[in-house]
Amino acid sequence: MLEKLTKARNLSKAHNAAKRLISERGESNGLSMADDVVNHYRKLAKDQHVAFFTFLFEKLNPQANDVLKAAQNFVADASARNYIQLQKVAESPRQEFFRRLNRASQGTAAVVEMRRDLLELLDKKPELAAVDFDLRHLLSSWFNPGFLKMHRVDWKSPAEVLEKLIQHEAVHAIDGWDDLRRRLQPDRRCFAFFHPQLPSEPLIFVEVALLPEIATVIAPLVDKRAETVEQVSQYKVAVFYSISNCEPGLRGVSMGNFLIKRVAEQLHAEFPGIKTFVTLSPIPGFMDWVTAGGELGAGVPVERLKPNLKAARDAALTLLNLKGQSWSERLAAGWHPDLVSEQEKAALLSLASIYLGLASTGRSANPVARFHMGNGAKLHLINWAGDLSRKGLRQSAGLMVNYLYDLGSVEDNHERFANGEIVFSRAVGRLMTP
């Protein structure tokens, strides 16, 4: 009983603190009021978050009548005065609430924390998407890459930063401090974005290997016993082999594309001999797509799958005989890239090239492909047996991809991708119809 009363009291205090903050007209008490909201919010139990965000959704919406009137005035007279008035009344009061909250001593961290909590509720409470829209709108401005600082992370970086790398590596898990030490040796680079209000919190980081040639297999890059390439003259290729977001509360806030471009420019300045910038990327979801029948998905024009490509896809699916079967069961039975026939290998490579080269702009497109090609990269190579880990076999039958960042072409490639065109190499094109 006492616990229920305490929880109810905490929620009431959080609501009242929010009301006071949004009703404050001056800025003299804004800092202390913002601190009150943060302190009371952090006392809420996890199951009370939905009530807090529902309060923000219901009580801090724009006034529909005011918006309608301002819109009608602007339609009748598109003057600067009417435009400004329309903007004022159409903006959600929640945005001003979060702006004021950002004044708190730990306001930026608190706002990011709130969005992290909110994202966990959206599946069951879709109406709260309005609150998320306001938060994402503000965070996209506050975490604009123009405000972020890019720093190299090395073995001399603070321990709390290094621990974050181990904790948040999302592509190729870091197996303790020895593994991390190898990834920070002279022939490796790690760069991260930091925000001035969160100086010890890497927001997103990218890991790079400096190599004599393009890597097509991931194992040597993440082997903590791998030999170090000592001579700088051997650095001809920069391979981006992992990029990880550290803060779930910033999901959907674009930072990674800017980070990769900045890193490429810095590496080119530091090592003029490096002329080639590529990724070595996974293909999450590829085998799910194959077992589901290899459809291009919504949003992809049907004409892209020309008769010869359709025939190649259908022949590959027939050969693999995977439709409707469990890929995990096939793996459990001993499937391995080293044991397949040349025909099965060609079929999988053909399907991967169609999947990435034709379907990467659709709404159900591969997220990694969409990220890199939307960032101006070119689909360069599809590599057989690139990732033989359990995860790599499960999600892509061991296939990996090199996306090429040609610094002179990224803008043009970005525009072409935005217009629905995927830029891929001749090598990828040849795989489509084996």
Q: Region of 379 please: left (phi>0), alpha (psi -120 to 50) or beta.
A: beta
Whether residue 44 has pLDDT greater than 60: yes
Across the range 150-174, mean pLDDT stands at 94
| 358 against 54, higher pLDDT | 54
State the catalytic residues: 281, 372
At 16 the pLDDT is: 93
Is residue 132 very low, low, confident or very high in pLDDT (cuts 50, 70, 90)? very high
Average of per-residue pLDDT across 427-431: 94
pLDDT digits (tens, 9 = 90+) for 267-301: 999 999 999 999 999 999 899 888 888 776 655 55
Is the pLDDT at 58 greater than 90? The verdict is yes
Domain boundary among 247, 279, 311: 279
Domain that includes residue 219, residue range: 146-279
Same domain for 123 and 16, yes or no, is yes
Based on the fold, state whether residues 208 and 318 are members of the same structural domain.
Answer: no
Do residues 244 and 336 both lie within one domain? no
Does residue 263 share a domain with residue 290? no
Domain finish residue from 142, 161, 187 = 142
For residue 361, pLDDT beyond 80: no
pLDDT at 27: 58
Q: What is the pTM of this model?
A: 0.88
The predicted pLDDT at position 235 comes to 95
Q: Taking residues 229-252, report their average pLDDT.
A: 93
Answer yes or no: do 125 and 249 share one domain: no
Judgement on whether residues 405 and 385 belong to the same structural domain of the protein: yes
State residue 54's pLDDT score. 96
CATH number at 34 reads: 1.20.140.90
Confidence of residue 321 (pLDDT cuts 50, 70, 90): confident
* 325 and 399 both lie in a single domain: yes
Q: How confident is the model at residue 164 (pLDDT cuts 50, 70, 90)?
A: very high
Whether residue 258 sits in one domain with residue 158 = yes
The stretch 225-238 carries a mean pLDDT of 91
How many structural domains does the chain have? 3
Average pLDDT over residues 253-273: 90
Higher-confidence residue of 301 and 313: namely 313
Query: Average of pLDDT values for 234-246?
Result: 95
Verify that 95 and 196 share a domain, yes or no.
Answer: no
Tokens of 173: 């898990």
Q: What's the CATH code of the domain at 200?
A: 3.40.630.180
Average pLDDT value for residue range 194-221:
95
Q: Is residue 28 over pLDDT 90?
A: no
pLDDT, residue 295, reads: 75
**Shared domain check, 134 and 7:** yes
Final residue of a structural domain among 247, 263, 279: 279
Based on the fold, state whether residues 9 and 111 are members of the same structural domain: yes
Query: Is 292 found in the same domain as 263?
Result: no
Give the domain CATH number at 325.
Answer: 3.40.630.150
The whole-number pLDDT of residue 297 equals 60
The pLDDT, as a whole number, for residue 292 is: 81
26: left (phi over 0), alpha (psi -120 to 50) or beta: beta
pLDDT tops 70 at residue 107: yes
Q: Report pLDDT for 322.
A: 66
Q: What is the pLDDT of residue 110?
A: 96
Q: Is the pLDDT of residue 310 over 80?
A: no
> What average pLDDT does the structure give for the chain?
90
